[in-house]
Protein backbone atom coordinates (compact mmCIF):
# COMPACT_ATOMS: atom_id res chain seq x y z
CA UNK A 1 0.00 0.00 0.00
CA UNK A 2 1.17 3.51 -0.82
CA UNK A 3 -0.28 6.92 0.03
CA UNK A 4 -1.50 9.32 -2.63
CA UNK A 5 -3.19 12.71 -2.95
CA UNK A 6 -6.49 11.29 -1.69
CA UNK A 7 -4.79 10.31 1.57
CA UNK A 8 -3.23 13.77 1.92
CA UNK A 9 -6.59 15.46 1.43
CA UNK A 10 -8.28 13.11 3.93
CA UNK A 11 -5.46 13.79 6.41
CA UNK A 12 -5.88 17.54 6.20
CA UNK A 13 -9.65 17.29 6.45
CA UNK A 14 -9.40 15.07 9.53
CA UNK A 15 -6.78 17.38 11.05
CA UNK A 16 -9.17 20.30 10.61
CA UNK A 17 -11.94 18.30 12.28
CA UNK A 18 -9.62 17.43 15.16
CA UNK A 19 -8.62 21.05 15.70
CA UNK A 20 -12.28 22.09 15.78
CA UNK A 21 -13.22 19.26 18.12
CA UNK A 22 -10.32 19.85 20.51
CA UNK A 23 -10.27 23.64 20.24
CA UNK A 24 -11.45 24.22 23.83
CA UNK A 25 -9.13 21.54 25.21
CA UNK A 26 -6.13 23.18 23.56
CA UNK A 27 -7.22 26.58 24.88
CA UNK A 28 -7.45 25.21 28.42
CA UNK A 29 -4.06 23.51 28.14
CA UNK A 30 -2.55 26.78 26.95
CA UNK A 31 -4.20 28.92 29.63
CA UNK A 32 -1.84 28.20 32.58
CA UNK A 33 1.42 28.15 30.58
CA UNK A 34 0.79 30.20 27.44
CA UNK A 35 -1.44 32.82 25.87
CA UNK A 36 -4.67 30.75 25.89
CA UNK A 37 -4.82 31.05 22.11
CA UNK A 38 -3.39 27.77 20.81
CA UNK A 39 -6.76 26.15 20.24
CA UNK A 40 -8.20 29.18 18.51
CA UNK A 41 -5.11 29.59 16.35
CA UNK A 42 -4.98 25.95 15.27
CA UNK A 43 -8.70 25.82 14.53
CA UNK A 44 -8.51 29.00 12.47
CA UNK A 45 -5.44 27.80 10.60
CA UNK A 46 -6.85 24.45 9.57
CA UNK A 47 -10.21 25.96 8.66
CA UNK A 48 -8.25 28.19 6.29
CA UNK A 49 -6.47 25.12 4.89
CA UNK A 50 -9.86 23.48 4.25
CA UNK A 51 -11.07 26.59 2.45
CA UNK A 52 -7.95 26.71 0.29
CA UNK A 53 -8.32 23.05 -0.66
CA UNK A 54 -11.95 23.64 -1.61
CA UNK A 55 -10.71 26.09 -4.26
CA UNK A 56 -7.56 24.28 -5.39
CA UNK A 57 -6.92 20.55 -5.60
CA UNK A 58 -3.16 19.90 -5.50
CA UNK A 59 -1.70 17.38 -7.93
CA UNK A 60 0.26 15.36 -5.37
CA UNK A 61 0.77 14.99 -1.61
CA UNK A 62 3.80 17.29 -1.56
CA UNK A 63 1.81 20.07 -3.19
CA UNK A 64 -0.98 19.62 -0.64
CA UNK A 65 1.48 19.90 2.23
CA UNK A 66 3.14 22.95 0.71
CA UNK A 67 -0.25 24.68 0.41
CA UNK A 68 -0.92 23.77 4.03
CA UNK A 69 2.44 25.20 5.09
CA UNK A 70 1.85 28.52 3.36
CA UNK A 71 -1.66 28.80 4.79
CA UNK A 72 -0.64 28.01 8.36
CA UNK A 73 2.22 30.50 8.22
CA UNK A 74 -0.17 33.26 7.18
CA UNK A 75 -3.18 32.37 9.36
CA UNK A 76 -1.85 30.89 12.62
CA UNK A 77 -0.62 33.36 15.21
CA UNK A 78 2.04 32.96 17.86
CA UNK A 79 4.87 30.48 17.55
CA UNK A 80 2.66 27.70 16.18
CA UNK A 81 2.25 29.22 12.72
CA UNK A 82 5.95 29.38 11.83
CA UNK A 83 6.66 26.02 13.52
CA UNK A 84 3.88 24.06 11.84
CA UNK A 85 4.39 25.93 8.60
CA UNK A 86 8.05 24.95 8.59
CA UNK A 87 7.16 21.34 9.46
CA UNK A 88 4.73 20.98 6.57
CA UNK A 89 7.06 22.80 4.19
CA UNK A 90 10.01 20.55 5.04
CA UNK A 91 7.80 17.47 4.64
CA UNK A 92 6.57 18.77 1.28
CA UNK A 93 10.15 19.33 0.13
CA UNK A 94 11.09 15.79 1.18
CA UNK A 95 8.18 14.37 -0.82
CA UNK A 96 8.79 16.47 -3.92
CA UNK A 97 6.45 15.69 -6.81
CA UNK A 98 6.08 11.98 -6.10
CA UNK A 99 2.47 10.87 -6.61
CA UNK A 100 2.71 7.90 -4.24
CA UNK A 101 4.46 7.60 -0.88
CA UNK A 102 5.93 4.35 0.43
CA UNK A 103 6.86 3.60 4.03
CA UNK A 104 10.48 4.71 3.78
CA UNK A 105 9.58 7.97 2.03
CA UNK A 106 6.88 8.62 4.62
CA UNK A 107 9.29 8.11 7.51
CA UNK A 108 11.77 10.46 5.83
CA UNK A 109 9.10 13.14 5.35
CA UNK A 110 8.10 12.93 9.02
CA UNK A 111 11.76 13.24 9.99
CA UNK A 112 12.07 16.32 7.78
CA UNK A 113 9.02 17.84 9.47
CA UNK A 114 10.51 17.30 12.94
CA UNK A 115 13.89 18.64 11.85
CA UNK A 116 12.17 21.75 10.55
CA UNK A 117 10.50 22.33 13.90
CA UNK A 118 13.83 21.92 15.70
CA UNK A 119 15.60 24.27 13.28
CA UNK A 120 12.92 26.94 13.62
CA UNK A 121 12.24 26.69 17.35
CA UNK A 122 15.70 25.66 18.62
CA UNK A 123 14.07 23.23 21.07
CA UNK A 124 15.28 19.76 21.99
CA UNK A 125 13.62 16.72 23.51
CA UNK A 126 12.87 17.39 27.16
CA UNK A 127 12.25 21.12 26.71
CA UNK A 128 8.46 20.61 27.05
CA UNK A 129 7.47 21.57 23.51
CA UNK A 130 5.94 19.92 20.46
CA UNK A 131 9.37 18.37 19.84
CA UNK A 132 8.56 16.00 22.70
CA UNK A 133 5.74 14.57 20.58
CA UNK A 134 7.53 14.68 17.24
CA UNK A 135 10.82 13.06 18.25
CA UNK A 136 9.33 9.81 19.58
CA UNK A 137 6.97 9.84 16.60
CA UNK A 138 9.75 9.90 14.01
CA UNK A 139 11.74 7.30 15.93
CA UNK A 140 8.73 4.98 16.01
CA UNK A 141 8.00 5.66 12.33
CA UNK A 142 11.58 4.87 11.34
CA UNK A 143 11.49 1.69 13.38
CA UNK A 144 8.23 0.54 11.80
CA UNK A 145 9.52 1.27 8.30
CA UNK A 146 12.82 -0.54 8.88
CA UNK A 147 10.91 -3.54 10.23
CA UNK A 148 9.06 -3.79 6.94
CA UNK A 149 5.85 -2.15 8.09
CA UNK A 150 3.59 -0.57 5.50
CA UNK A 151 2.53 3.08 5.54
CA UNK A 152 -0.40 2.35 7.85
CA UNK A 153 1.88 0.77 10.44
CA UNK A 154 4.34 3.64 10.13
CA UNK A 155 1.61 6.21 10.77
CA UNK A 156 0.04 4.19 13.57
CA UNK A 157 3.42 3.90 15.30
CA UNK A 158 4.05 7.62 14.87
CA UNK A 159 0.62 8.58 16.25
CA UNK A 160 0.88 6.32 19.29
CA UNK A 161 4.39 7.56 20.10
CA UNK A 162 3.32 11.20 19.70
CA UNK A 163 0.37 10.70 22.04
CA UNK A 164 2.62 9.11 24.65
CA UNK A 165 5.15 11.89 24.15
CA UNK A 166 2.52 14.54 24.76
CA UNK A 167 1.48 12.89 28.03
CA UNK A 168 5.14 12.70 29.04
CA UNK A 169 5.38 16.51 28.98
CA UNK A 170 3.23 16.73 32.13
CA UNK A 171 6.10 16.51 34.67
CA UNK A 172 8.63 18.40 32.56
CA UNK A 173 10.07 21.79 33.39
CA UNK A 174 9.60 24.07 30.37
CA UNK A 175 12.90 25.32 28.96
CA UNK A 176 11.65 26.92 25.73
CA UNK A 177 8.78 29.17 24.73
CA UNK A 178 6.47 31.25 26.85
CA UNK A 179 6.00 28.43 29.36
CA UNK A 180 9.69 28.65 30.26
CA UNK A 181 9.05 32.04 31.90
CA UNK A 182 7.02 30.24 34.57
CA UNK A 183 9.90 28.13 35.80
CA UNK A 184 8.76 25.35 38.12
CA UNK A 185 5.14 26.46 37.79
CA UNK A 186 5.19 24.91 34.31
CA UNK A 187 5.54 21.46 35.90
CA UNK A 188 2.30 19.47 35.96
CA UNK A 189 0.85 21.00 32.79
CA UNK A 190 0.71 19.23 29.44
CA UNK A 191 2.25 21.08 26.53
CA UNK A 192 -0.50 22.20 24.11
CA UNK A 193 1.81 22.09 21.08
CA UNK A 194 2.68 18.48 21.82
CA UNK A 195 -1.03 17.68 22.07
CA UNK A 196 -1.90 19.38 18.78
CA UNK A 197 1.03 17.57 17.15
CA UNK A 198 -0.34 14.24 18.36
CA UNK A 199 -3.78 15.15 17.01
CA UNK A 200 -2.31 15.94 13.59
CA UNK A 201 -0.36 12.67 13.45
CA UNK A 202 -3.40 10.69 14.62
CA UNK A 203 -5.39 12.30 11.79
CA UNK A 204 -2.71 11.13 9.34
CA UNK A 205 -3.03 7.58 10.66
CA UNK A 206 -6.83 7.64 10.47
CA UNK A 207 -6.67 8.91 6.89
CA UNK A 208 -4.65 5.82 5.89
CA UNK A 209 -7.05 3.30 7.45
Residue 85 has pLDDT above 80, yes or no: yes
Q: Summarize the confidence of residues 69-89 as an average pLDDT.
A: 93
Give the contacts of 40 (CB within 8 A, at least 6 positions apart): 23, 27
Q: Determine the 3-state secondary structure of 117 from DSSP.
A: helix
Nearest in space to 199 (alpha carbons), one of 168, 159, 171, 167 = 159
pLDDT average, residue stretch 157-171: 98
As a whole number of angstroms, the longest Cα–Cα distance in the chain is 48
Parent domain of 51:
5-208
> In DSSP terms, which residues pair with 101 in a beta bridge?
3
| 194 DSSP 8-state letter | H
What is the reported pLDDT for 83?
Answer: 96
What's the CATH code of the domain at 144?
1.25.40.340
Query: Quick check: 130 and 83 in contact, CB under 8 A?
Result: yes
Residue 33 has pLDDT above 80, yes or no: yes
Average pLDDT of span 118-138: 96
| Whole-number pLDDT of residue 176 | 82
Helices within 96-185 (DSSP H only): 103-121, 131-146, 151-167
Share of the chain above pLDDT 70, in %: 100
Residue 177 has pLDDT above 80, yes or no: no
On average, the pLDDT of the chain sits at: 95
Using pLDDT thresholds of 50, 70 and 90, give the confidence band for residue 183: confident
- The whole-number pLDDT of residue 199 equals 98
What is the pLDDT, as a whole number, of residue 1? 82
The three-class DSSP label of residue 3 is strand
Task: Return the minimum-mean-pLDDT range out of 97-106, 129-138, 182-191.
Answer: 182-191
Distances (CA, A) of 6 to 60, 101, 103, 192, 204: 9, 12, 16, 29, 12
pTM given for the model:
0.96
The answer, yes or no, to whether residue 178 has pLDDT greater than 90, is: no
The mean pLDDT value for 22-40 works out to 93
Per the structure, the count of domains in the chain is: 1
- Cβ proximity of 99 and 58 under 8 Å: no
Amino acid sequence: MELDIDWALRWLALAAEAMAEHREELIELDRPIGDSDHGENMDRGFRAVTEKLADTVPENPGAALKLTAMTLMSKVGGAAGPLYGTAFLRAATALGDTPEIDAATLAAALQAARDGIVARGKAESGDKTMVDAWTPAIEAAAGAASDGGDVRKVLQAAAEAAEAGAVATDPMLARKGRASYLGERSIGHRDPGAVSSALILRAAAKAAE
